């Protein structure tokens, strides 16, 4: 019985989820721990019903730009598959991808107005702290203050974190810790900002969906990468909106994934 | 203070669209004085022999353009 549970289809080597295997192959992941972490992440997300709600999942495994660029949901080397294009001074490591506060960003090619349903979620797992920068954005697409999708963990000029979905929420930073799993979601017309599955604030959703592409490591400000961050990114997801239960399950799966890779916070 | 490599306009044009490492593109930007610059990561991680000169660029302090946002945005 234990063997059957451990080896999904019985026989010799454990079966790997085909979507996980496609990513492992595309990204040339050879480390068994990393392979196992990807497989578990995919099976967890499928088990929770979150997999089908996501358009892009960037797990940042492999330690190089050539492995980090792939979208777990569709690991083809094309813009249409939302494969990342890295520009500027990124640092790639087994712990994720880190910008430089100067000019580093990654283009997801994902346009919210085209590729997402009306209500959606954006998440980002940051495993270093905010250190400097007036208003660095970790992920975002911006047309206007009521037409944006973005996450910023800290701004020194107003001491607040900020999310857009599609209107803006500001939250005074009383937590003193900008690392962790940040989630920007909509439930029942309420825009919610969570960190480590703790609701920090919510507000009635207003505004409209942005038409700019989503950038990682910076804000796509009407077509120009701006407001660059240097917080290291260990994972990011973009997709349809989640239920409250799914919010918690996504955090559980992502935290387990990063714990397996010894890069959790 | 972050330091960056200073480019001429012609050097900037030469780097646009070029890779400095596999799947990593140069991204020249303008600072507050409209100087074209690239990061030290691009300079010292460059593997593109056609633009090997980037490792010898003069370094200047990076002074970013002001935030495009007013505080309420």
For residue B9, with 0-12 CB atoms within 10 Å meaning exposed, 13-18 middle and 19 or more buried, which class applies?
A: exposed
B6-15: long-range contacts at Cβ-Cβ below 8 A with a sequence spacing of 24 or more?
A: B6/B35, B6/B36, B6/B37, B6/B57, B6/B58, B6/B59, B6/B60, B7/B35, B7/B36, B7/B37, B7/B38, B7/B57, B8/B36, B9/B36, B11/B36, B11/B53, B11/B57, B12/B36, B14/B51, B15/B51, B15/B54
* Tens digit of each residue's pLDDT (9 = 90 or more) over A22-38: 999 999 999 999 999 99
CA B15, CA A216: separation in Å to the nearest integer? 22
Smallest CA–CA distance, residue B63 to chain A, in Å, is 9
Give me the pLDDT at residue A165, please: 83
Closest residue of chain B to A145, computed from CA coordinates: B73
Q: Which of A98, A78, A79 is nearest to A213 (CA)?
A: A79
The answer to whether residue A211 scores a pLDDT higher than 60 is yes
The answer to whether residue B38 scores a pLDDT higher than 80 is yes
Smallest CA–CA distance, residue A88 to chain B, in Å, is 5
- Chain A residues touching B26 at Cβ < 8 A: 87-88
The answer to whether residue B67 scores a pLDDT higher than 80 is no
CB of B17 within 8 Å of any CB in chain A? no
- Chain A residues touching B40 at Cβ < 8 A: 89
CB of B10 within 8 Å of any CB in chain A? no
Torsion of CA A28, A34, A39, A42, to 10 degrees: -90
The answer to whether residue A1 scores a pLDDT higher than 50 is no
Domain membership of residue A18 (yes or no) is no
Domain membership of residue A6 (yes or no) is no
- The answer to whether the predicted template modeling score (pTM) of the entire model surpasses 0.90 is yes
Domain membership of residue A93 (yes or no) is yes
Q: How many domains does chain A have?
A: 1
The answer to whether residue A3 scores a pLDDT higher than 60 is no
Residues A60-76 as b/e (b if ≥16 CB within 10 A, e otherwise) read bbbbbbbbbbbbbbbbe
Cα dist from A156 to A91, A152, A153, A159, B71, whole Å: 24, 11, 10, 5, 10
Domain that holds residue A250: 32-42+55-260
Contacts of B49 (CB under 8 A, 6+ apart): none
Question: Which of B26, B41, B45, B62 to mutate to test binding with chain A, by most A CBs within 10 Å of its CB?
Answer: B41
From B40, B68, B69, residue closest to A89, measured CB to CB: B40
pLDDT average, residue stretch A62-89: 98
Domain membership of residue A4 (yes or no) is no
More confident residue, A161 or A123: A123
- Chain A residues touching B27 at Cβ < 8 A: 87-89, 103-105, 225
Please report the ipTM that was assigned to this predicted complex.
Answer: 0.96
Torsion of CA A48, A53, A55, A58, to 10 degrees: -20
Domain membership of residue A1 (yes or no) is no
Residue with tokens 């916070």: A265
Domain membership of residue A208 (yes or no) is yes
| Domain harbouring A109, CATH code | 2.60.120.200
Smallest CA–CA distance, residue B65 to chain A, in Å, is 10
Give me the pLDDT at residue A154, please: 85
Domain membership of residue A50 (yes or no) is no
Residues B19-32 as b/e (b if ≥16 CB within 10 A, e otherwise) read bbbebbbbbbbebe
Question: Which of B4, B29, B66 to mutate to test binding with chain A, by most A CBs within 10 Å of its CB?
Answer: B29
Q: How much of chain A exceeds pLDDT 90, in percent?
A: 79
Joined together, the tokens standing for residue B65 give 């353009």
Domain membership of residue A209 (yes or no) is yes
The answer to whether residue B16 scores a pLDDT higher than 60 is yes
From B4, B27, B68, residue closest to A221, measured CB to CB: B68
CA A173, CA A160: separation in Å to the nearest integer? 5
Give me the pLDDT at residue B68, please: 75
The answer to whether residue A109 scores a pLDDT higher than 70 is yes
Give the pairing type, strands B3-7 and B19-21: unpaired
Asked if B40 and A65 come within 8 Å (Cβ–Cβ), the reply is: no
As beta bridge partners, residue A149 has: A141, A165
């Amino acid at each position: 019985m234990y063997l059957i549970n451990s080896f999904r289809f019985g026989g010799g080597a454990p079966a790997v989820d085909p979507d996980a295997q496609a990513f492992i192959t595309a990204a040339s992941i050879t480390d068994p721990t990393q392979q196992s972490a990807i497989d578990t992440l995919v099976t967890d997300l499928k088990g929770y019903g979150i997999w089908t709600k996501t358009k892009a999942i960037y797990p940042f495994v492999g330690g190089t730009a050539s492995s980090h660029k792939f979208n777990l949901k569709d690991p083809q080397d094309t813009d249409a598959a939302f494969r990342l294009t890295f520009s500027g001074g990124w640092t790639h490591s087994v712990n994720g991808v880190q910008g430089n506060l100067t000019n580093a960003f990654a283009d997801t090619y994902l346009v919210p107005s085209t590729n997402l349903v009306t209500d959606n979620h954006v998440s980002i797992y940051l495993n270093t702290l905010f250190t400097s920068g007036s208003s660095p954005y970790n992920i975002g697409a911006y047309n206007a203050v009521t037409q944006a999708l973005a996450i910023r963990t800290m701004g020194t000029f107003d001491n607040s974190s900020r999310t857009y979905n599609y209107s803006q929420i500001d939250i005074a930073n009383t937590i003193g810790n900008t690392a962790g799993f940040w989630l920007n979601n909509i439930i029942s017309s309420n825009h919610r900002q969570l960190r480590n599955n703790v609701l920090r604030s919510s507000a009635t959703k207003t505004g409209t969906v942005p038409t700019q592409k989503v950038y990682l490591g910076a804000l796509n400000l009407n077509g120009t990468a701006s407001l660059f961050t240097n917080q290291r990114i260990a994972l990011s997801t973009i997709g349809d909106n989640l239920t409250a239960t799914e919010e918690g399950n996504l955090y559980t799966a992502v935290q387990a994934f990063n714990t397996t890779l010894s890069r959790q916070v | 203070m972050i330091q960056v490599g200073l480019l001429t306009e012609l050097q900037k044009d030469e780097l646009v669209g070029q890779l400095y490492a596999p799947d990593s593109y140069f991204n020249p930007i303008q600072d507050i004085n409209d100087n074209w610059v690239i990061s030290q990561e691009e300079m010292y991680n460059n593997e593109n022999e056609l633009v090997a000169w980037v490792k010898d660029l003069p370094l200047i302090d990076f002074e970013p353009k002001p935030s495009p946002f007013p505080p309420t945005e």
